[in-house]
Amino acid sequence: MSEAVTEPRWRRLPEERPKQILEAALAVFAERGLAAARLDDIAKRAGLSKGTIYLYFPNKEELFREVIRHSVIAFIERAEARVETLDGLQALDVWMEGYWAYLRSPVFPAMHRLVSSEAHSFPDIAAFYAKEVIERAHRLVCGMLERAMDDGQIRRMDPLVAGRMLSALFVSHALWYHQRTSIKSIAHIPDDVIFGQLRDFFLHAMRPDTPAVGPDA
């Protein structure tokens, strides 16, 4: 009796091909950089032919844009939906918790390294990332901060400045988090404790000058 032939996963589940390509692309981009990465390498990592990639993505640059959409922009979209009906302080809490989870993921250091080191060689992609990721995230955070300021939950200041400080605080700790073998000062601190420290520091710095007055006061 002949042995059963097992088809490759991509043949059995063609609807998953874009996801397979994107996951393989992120891994190859992270290892080799955007300039040195080849579609042949991405196809091999995904278990597909190079021609199959062209069915979904016209070139390497557009593939990288879709990696950004699939990872970072998708995170921002989920956050926008979650905080839409919350008051400012509740929204900030949800954002900070989700932001810290994203920053701890392997996607963040790969994306940060790629954008930081190769943006000058790909100005169109740099402009895309600035508009669709940085500016969009800052608009979301500034909106939360402004609502919290209007409600007297945090002190009044330029929300753009407060948003930059929040981002810098979390991103710097995330970079240290991913280098725990060399950044010994946080190597022993549990993830949830670091998050609590970040949250408490920012909210303490932004505490209102006078306590918020409720409607029944």
Are 214 and 178 spatial neighbours (Cβ–Cβ below 8 Å)?
A: no
Q: Is the pLDDT of residue 3 over 50?
A: no
The string of pLDDT tens digits covering residues 190-201 is 999 999 999 999
Residue found by looking up tokens 């593939």 in the block: 63
> What are the phi and psi torsion angles at 49 (to 5°)?
-85, 155
Confidence of residue 15 (pLDDT cuts 50, 70, 90): confident
The string of pLDDT tens digits covering residues 18-66 is 999 999 999 999 999 999 999 999 999 999 999 999 999 999 999 999 9
Q: Is the pLDDT of residue 8 over 70?
A: no
Rounded-to-integer distance, Cα 99 and Cα 205, Å? 19
Residue 100 Ramachandran class (φ > 0 left, ψ -120 to 50 alpha, else beta)? alpha
Same domain, 19 and 93: no
- Decide if 22 is inside a domain: yes
pTM: 0.85
- Decide if 14 is inside a domain: yes
Same domain, 80 and 43: no
Residue-level pLDDT at 212: 53
Same domain, 18 and 118: no
Same domain, 85 and 103: yes
Q: Is the pLDDT of residue 13 over 70?
A: no
Same domain, 36 and 94: no
**What's the domain range around 126?**
65-205
Are 140 and 79 spatial neighbours (Cβ–Cβ below 8 Å)?
A: yes
Q: Is the pLDDT of residue 69 over 80?
A: yes
For CA atoms 54, 48, 110, 200, the dihedral sign is positive
Q: What is the largest CA-CA distance in the chain?
A: 84
Same domain, 40 and 131: no
Same domain, 103 and 5: no
The string of pLDDT tens digits covering residues 129-188 is 999 999 999 999 999 999 999 999 999 999 999 999 999 999 999 999 999 888 888 889
For the domain that residue 25 is a member of, what is the CATH number? 1.10.10.60
Are 142 and 88 spatial neighbours (Cβ–Cβ below 8 Å)?
A: no
- Decide if 85 is inside a domain: yes
Residue found by looking up tokens 């200041």 in the block: 157
Confidence of residue 211 (pLDDT cuts 50, 70, 90): low
What six digits make up the tokens of 83?
């905080």
For the domain that residue 145 is a member of, what is the CATH number? 1.10.357
Same domain, 130 and 25: no
Instruction: Say which residue, 14 or 148, is predicted with more confidence.
Output: 148
Total structural domains in the chain?
2
